[in-house]
């Protein structure tokens, strides 16, 4: 049903500026959003992925641009943010969806008042983490209340005419769970992901997911007004969480109090920073590094030439 002019103006006027945590898969977005969402006055909305695909749900990749932010799409997404805010007592929304790394300009066009907190991580650590997810991740178990509610919420926020776009993915996930098979795809769907899945090794696909997300997100961030975004290095945040969460709160105009920072110090740690060095094989690094090296070097993770794989 179309929104009235009064309803649209109400949404535009009353929605508190959301805080959008953005970063590629396994880059620290879950940690950041969940910790920040515990601050007084804030609430975390965890991966309402179908919401951000409204208007282009039938597209193969999750990439979107300003051109996709048509008026009706903007109204619909903003309305859902306002609904979530109101259903949680008017708390300001902290939202995170990793595919938004492919569509930051689109996201900003929808929510120009939002504060974007972008986080990135050493691609080799992300590779190790995501390979682990392929081994252990299971799709939603609709017998579990929390999983069922999440699926129902996605149905509710998705226009009915876009439901068929997700039918194949839902059936695949359900059949894999019933048959005890591992997940077939995990993470963002970058442009060309289907061809990559057919022609590349899984290690190469994951490496490309990491690199492509940053190739899109970094220049799009820099095209936005400087006061609208903050760019963070995961390793810095977990090494000195007190300092960086204070900076995040300052940027987002949040004053959570010292109890929040006590919680930060207890929950955020740097224990897994270098696990990739022990767990990735030379063969895996040999497949990943030709794809990752340019971005790793750009971000300062590499200073020396990479030795050729033996």
- Give yes or no for a contact between 38 and 263, defined as CB atoms under 8 angstroms apart: yes
Q: What is the pLDDT of residues 161-204, one digit of tens each?
A: 999 998 877 766 666 555 666 666 789 999 999 999 999 999 99
- The H or E element that residue 240 is part of is none
Q: What is the pLDDT of residues 92-132, one digit of tens each?
A: 999 999 999 999 999 999 999 999 999 999 999 999 999 98
| Rounded distance between C-alpha atoms, residue 124 and residue 31, angstroms | 18
Decide: residue 234, CB within 10 A, 0-12 exposed, 13-18 middle, 19+ buried.
Answer: buried
pLDDT at 149: 81
Pick 153 or 74 by higher pLDDT. 74
Q: Work out the percent of the chain whose per-residue pLDDT is above 90.
A: 75
- The H or E element that residue 22 is part of is strand 19-22
DSSP assignment string, 8-44: HHHHHHH----EEEE-STTSSHHHHHHHHHTSTTEEE
Q: Strand ranges (DSSP E) for 156-290? A: 229-233
DSSP classification of residue 243: H
Minimal CA–CA distance to 128: which of 281, 296, 267? 281
* Tokens 């902290």, located at residue: 94
All structural domains of the chain with their residue ranges: 5-122+213-272
DSSP classification of residue 304: S
CATH superfamily for 5-122+213-272 is P-loop containing nucleotide triphosphate hydrolases (3.40.50.300)
pLDDT at 51: 97
What's the pTM value of the predicted model, to 2 decimals?
0.89
Q: What is the pLDDT of residues 14-25, one digit of tens each?
A: 999 999 999 999
Provide CB contacts within 8 A for 43, sequence distance 6+: 37, 84, 85, 88, 91, 92, 93, 94
Banded pLDDT at 11 (limits 50, 70, 90): very low
Q: What is the pLDDT of residues 199-250, one digit of tens each?
A: 999 999 999 999 999 999 999 999 999 999 999 999 999 999 999 999 999 9
Minimal CA–CA distance to 221: which of 101, 114, 96? 101
Q: With H, G, I as helix, E, B as strand and everything else as coil, classify residue 81.
A: helix
Minimal CA–CA distance to 115: which of 101, 99, 95? 95
Measure CA 126 to chain center. 13
Minimal CA–CA distance to 284: which of 124, 50, 80? 124
């Amino acid at each position: 049903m179309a929104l009235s002019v009064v309803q649209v103006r109400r949404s535009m006027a009353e929605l508190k500026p959301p805080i959008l945590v953005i970063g590629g898969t396994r880059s620290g977005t879950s940690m950041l959003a969940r910790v920040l969402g515990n601050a007084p006055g804030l609430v975390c909305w965890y991966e309402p992925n179908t919401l951000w695909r409204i208007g282009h749900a039938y597209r193969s990749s999750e990439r979107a641009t300003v051109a996709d932010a048509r008026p009706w799409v903007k109204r619909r997404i903003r309305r859902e943010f306002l609904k979530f805010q109101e259903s949680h007592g008017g708390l300001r929304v902290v939202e995170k969806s990793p595919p938004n790394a492919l569509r930051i300009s689109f996201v900003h066009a929808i929510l120009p008042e939002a504060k974007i907190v972008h986080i990135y991580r050493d691609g080799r650590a992300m590779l190790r983490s995501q390979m682990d997810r392929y081994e252990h991740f299971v799709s939603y178990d609709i017998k579990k209340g929390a999983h069922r509610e999440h699926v129902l919420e996605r149905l509710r926020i998705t226009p009915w005419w876009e439901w068929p776009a997700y039918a194949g993915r839902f059936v695949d996930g359900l059949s894999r769970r019933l048959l005890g098979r591992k997940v077939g795809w995990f993470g963002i769907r970058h442009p060309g992901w289907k061809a990559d899945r057919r022609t590349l090794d899984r290690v190469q696909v994951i490496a490309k997911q990491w690199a492509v997300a940053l190739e899109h997100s970094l220049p799009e961030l820099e095209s936005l007004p400087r006061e609208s975004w903050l760019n963070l290095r995961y390793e810095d945040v977990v090494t000195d969480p007190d300092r960086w969460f204070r900076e995040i709160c300052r940027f987002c105009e949040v004053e959570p109090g010292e109890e929040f920072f006590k919680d930060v110090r207890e929950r955020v740690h740097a224990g897994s920073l270098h696990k990739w060095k022990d767990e990735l094989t030379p063969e895996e690094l040999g497949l990943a590094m030709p794809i990752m090296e340019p971005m790793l070097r750009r971000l300062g993770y590499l200073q020396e030439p990479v030795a050729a794989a033996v």
